[in-house]
Amino acid sequence: ARRRKVQTAAADLLQPGLMLFGMAFISISYVHVLLLISPVTNAFRPSIRPGSTHAASRRRQRLLSMREQDGSKAGTYGNTPTVLKGVVSALTGGLNSFADATSSGADKPGRSAAAVSGGEGRSGVSSTADLVEAIREDYTQRAYFLTGDINDSLYADECVFTDPTISFKGLQTWKRNIASLKLLTTDRRLDLQDIRVSPEGSSIQTKWTLSVTLKLPWRPLVSISGGTTHYFASDPADSGRLVVTEHVEEWDVSGWEAFLQLFGTKGRGSDQRDEENNTGIMMA
């Protein structure tokens, strides 16, 4: 009986990592096929040395060429190729389905009382200065976009969340995605470097670095520097309360560079955190 329990516990630990590995493998294979057959991707194809016939080498060169072509651009949603957006969307949907299938009832990601009411007991704010401080706390005390522990009262229910690889509407959708992703990450760290109100006074802008280790056999480290713009406005249901209506991330690396970190390829901006002396929050 003890042996079965040990085997069951080991399987529970390995399942999320194996799931992500399988999904990532399928996704990267899908990208390779598109690179081989789609004329739209011709511009991304590097020159192959005469006599080189190794198919895997050619596919890897093509993938890295896409990274190099896109790497000169800032990591924004508009600059990310549609292919990569599709891959990330599929991975996110698959991971959510896996999390739902392996959980039940209140334990499902984004459905537990703690996850759904993360802002319980945290009041809304009515001034820009208070909103800045409340958002600062989400970064420095809760590492909110690595843990999903967010002050709900600061965000509109239909807030739009965008990063360089995916965009969607809904605070609960965001919380579900983060809760599912937590199954596959450990050693989460978020360093807030700067937070300020924009010159026009309609948004709060932050600069940060983050790092997480994925629960895959080779334990890849994903490390990114970037910033988030929190656009805010008066709550239509309560004109005295300010809420964030858009949450837009930009990265110092392209979407491809961030994605390739899953396979051990480090982005340019990932060394920045090691070179700067920041006070951050580390979450297991």
Residue scoring higher pLDDT (72 or 254): 254
Burial readout 176-210 (b: 16 or more C-beta within 10 A, e: otherwise): bbbbbbbbbbeebbbbbbebebeeeeebbbbbbbb
> What confidence tier does 95 reach under pLDDT thresholds 50, 70, 90?
confident
State mean pLDDT over 104-124. Answer: 50
Asked whether residue 144 carries a pLDDT value surpassing 80, the answer given is yes
Give tens-digit pLDDT for 34-65: 333 333 333 343 443 444 445 444 544 544 45
Residue type, 85: K
Question: What integer pLDDT is reported at residue 202 of this predicted model?
Answer: 95
Asked whether 32 and 61 are in contact (CB, 8 A), the reply is no
* pLDDT score, position 123: 72
Please check the confidence at residue 116 and state whether its pLDDT lies above 70. no
pTM: 0.70
Tens-digit pLDDT profile for residues 258-269: 999 988 755 444
Q: Is the pLDDT of residue 79 over 70?
A: yes
For residue 44, give Cα distances in angstroms to 48, 229, 268: 12, 31, 20
